[in-house]
Structure 1
């Protein structure tokens, strides 16, 4: 038997901190390693964890960020960096509709088919911005949404042809069994994980946590992640037993140190951090945003977004009731481990890669002339 054909896929990332988009790309690189030769193009500053995760797994190309609309040289450098990887396909990942928009442009002028994944919904500031983004998204060969809410935004607001959109659920992988949780509060440890930005609602969680402490509850809070709001959040946590753990490299081990996981986000798609906590066997609370209700509500306790009183009440109930914690942990673990895996995410993504590569080329792809590339030999 001959060797399995390999497709060259270039992933484009531009977040200054590690988040869900980066974790999804890391999972795809691992799951598709037999059929995809991956290159990651990232912009400075590159998160330390990103460098560590991709070292030895794939080529990492780093370029300067695009400072703005008038920074034409940086745009051209990004386009050249992507083209120089000689991709068979470019996969651009966006945390929000406007994030990494220059990556969309680089994908379009890469000389190869271009796929984009939008991980979060988000507000668009003006009609001009919506029109420009509609052109960029609409010119992609396919756009992946991680939730139906994101797909609706793509179709209704950015006018992407619905035939070129597809929902692919995020997937999680747990390499070891969930750790049993103690029934003895000593104290009860609540945790949250994500980029330290307003979207994650950590300020709301701190307000709720302060209420619990004022009531005399023996609880601690651990916050994993980095981001531009770190200084403000540390100030808001002054005098409270809150640990800011920074960038979490070993997520599984970090989750094993918690009793309860809380996601207080103002908006989400299909939140990977929440799914990882559910896979770890943690009782989980989450705000009713994005696809949390439709995809995960059977395994989490839902609370309204931006409601610190409601969040405090839910946390109080979960911390006090061992039976509730056991029930949430069991249902959450069963739901995520049976329905949402990195293998199924990779299979769906690889199938889309094949369909896009074999589809007749679109007019905006004016790169070098090249023979038809090999499609991935398996779904991963």
Structure 2
């Protein structure tokens, strides 16, 4: 089977998006399928390796070194030459036209939704108008109507798609490499200080993610400020880059906050995460929370924004479906064990209160709970579910469920 993945804003520093696209693609290739990836670049190129073929199409430079394919014509010409069996589009903007193109030719078309477009537009433009949100919803309705299948990673991610009239929504949780992201000393082991049962003298916090408005990184700075006002010696390490870096550095002046920049190697990031007491995931519009899952795999509990996809990872109740999503056998694993994390209002005060609440659990309990929760999300399960969708294997199950 020839599967073509299409992704915009794909960059060496694009973090979660690139991790998802690359990991799924490697899984497709390992399963014996012909995997081709089309992404924006400075010029057209074709490269092949053991994971398939990567084709770059000239893209327009945008913020932070990213590029976007603004004209889909060249992409559609490339698709026509490739003769795919199924396409997977990780973009609701300029590449959305690939869905109707595929449908007209009898090619399976799958939309992988990585974000809630309404929240993303509002955060990046600073506009909260009702008319803008209605326009985004109309656009999303047009986009989802052009695909055979629409994939969301969480109940939170499903809601916008359901509101836009998506007929079928497949929930496919993301995964984590449990060998790369693991507690210090190896999987199942514990750090020497995991036996402590009281709050540590210095509370080591970590934020790992893009430094942009929609990720709400400013709340992590305020968390440190609030904790120190409350008499807690809290320190914060920030791993990531983005347009808010300068503003955040100014905001954190006088506080024990260290900006380490983007960490390219996943193993290096994993090592940094294991040194934390807790990880902060403050984005209220996060549709899954891949960085939060990676922290859990390292045995580090997470303070997440309530209502987000990351909150579902640490919740002790199973997230509900959207109502029109058929995913009974493919849904997110149920509840997180106590101590794996907590969902709070994503403000400095809210996150600080969440930090203190989680620290009432002994470190060994937090570590075990976090690792147990992460172990429910292997990448192999995500690949298996996506391949079933590409092959249409879920259709028979839907018919059986409806009978």
User: CA 1:247/1:8 → structure 2, altered by over 3 Å: closer, same or farther?
Assistant: farther
Identify the residue that residue 346 of structure 2 maps to in structure 1.
Answer: 306
Deviation by residue 1:154-178 (Cα, 9 ceiling, x = unmatched): 122x1121xx321111111211542
1:246 partner SS: coil
Identify the residue that residue 227 of structure 1 maps to in structure 2.
Answer: 242
Aligned runs of 1:140-155 on 2, under 5 Å? 140-155=147-162
Deviation by residue 1:163-213 (Cα, 9 ceiling, x = unmatched): x32111111121154223353857442111122222222111111112223
What's the offset of the Cα at 1:356? Answer: 7.7
The answer as to whether partners of 1:41 and 1:82 remain within 8 angstroms in 2 is no
TM-score, length-normalised on structure 1?
Answer: 0.77
Q: How many residue pairs align between the two structures?
A: 335
2:73 partner SS: helix
Identify the residue that residue 262 of structure 1 maps to in structure 2.
Answer: 280
Aligned runs of 1:1-380 on 2, under 5 Å? 7-15=1-9, 17-33=13-29, 34-44=31-41, 57-65=51-59, 74-94=71-91, 100-109=92-101, 111=105, 112-123=107-118, 125-156=132-163, 158-161=164-167, 164-175=168-179, 177-179=182-184, 180-183=190-193, 185=200, 187-248=202-263, 249-250=265-266, 251-297=269-315, 298-299=336-337, 300-318=340-358, 321=360, 323-337=361-375, 339-355=376-392
The answer as to whether partners of 2:17 and 2:114 remain within 8 angstroms in 1 is yes
Distance 1:264 1:256 in 2: 19
Deviation by residue 1:101-157 (Cα, 9 ceiling, x = unmatched): 21121343255322111123242724344323312211101110111232232122x
Distance 1:240 1:189 in 2: 13
Distance 1:73 1:324 in 2: 51
The answer as to whether partners of 1:8 and 1:36 remain within 8 angstroms in 2 is yes
Identify the residue that residue 50 of structure 1 maps to in structure 2.
Answer: none
Deviation by residue 1:231-277 (Cα, 9 ceiling, x = unmatched): 22222222322222222222322322323211111222221111111
What's the offset of the Cα at 1:310? Answer: 2.1
Distance 2:111 2:169 in 1: 10
TM-score, length-normalised on structure 2?
Answer: 0.73
CA RMSD after TM alignment: 3.2
User: CA 1:81/1:356 → structure 2, altered by over 3 Å: closer, same or farther?
Assistant: farther
Distance 1:333 1:41 in 2: 34
2:392 partner SS: helix
The answer as to whether partners of 1:171 and 1:345 remain within 8 angstroms in 2 is yes
2:391 partner SS: helix
Distance 2:35 2:259 in 1: 33
1:178 partner SS: coil
Name stretches of at least 5 consecutive residues in structure 2 with no aligned partner: 63-67, 122-131, 185-189, 316-335, 397-403
Identify the residue that residue 322 of structure 2 maps to in structure 1.
Answer: none
